[in-house]
Amino acid sequence: MGTPPTSPPQSNVHSEVTSRNTRQSTRLRRLTFRTLDQPRPVVNVDAATGRASSPNKEIFHNYLGVVEREKISIVHNSWKDVPDSLKELVWNDILVSFVMLKYIVKKL
């Protein structure tokens, strides 16, 4: 039988602690902090399906996520559980940030 391998020597010097890059919350500041001279993006929403269809579709979808995270608490299991007052608050925020044509607007 041979001798067991020796463990590497341990250093008494503490290793440098490195900070991990973690994902931060997204707020889309370019939309939420729009200046008054900038036009609101136009979004077309199909009333039958509720889907957006315009060049600003991706920005609109991202903005919906931002508004939802800021205004709606995580304690609600589904959209049906959210009080109507919060739904109105979210809807008004969307209407302030985007131009939506009246004849195709479908209220959430």
Render pLDDT for 72-103 as a digit per residue (tens, 0 to 9): 888 988 889 999 999 999 888 888 888 886 54
Which is higher by pLDDT, 47 or 7?
Answer: 47
Residues belonging to the chain: 108
pTM of the model: 0.59
- Residue 28 φ/ψ region, left for φ over 0, alpha for ψ in the -120 to 50 degree band, beta for the rest: left
For residue 34, give Cα distances in angstroms to 2, 14, 26, 29, 101.
74, 48, 16, 8, 20
Which is higher by pLDDT, 98 or 38?
Answer: 98
Backbone angles phi, psi at 52, to 5 degrees: -80, 145
pLDDT beyond 90 at 60: no
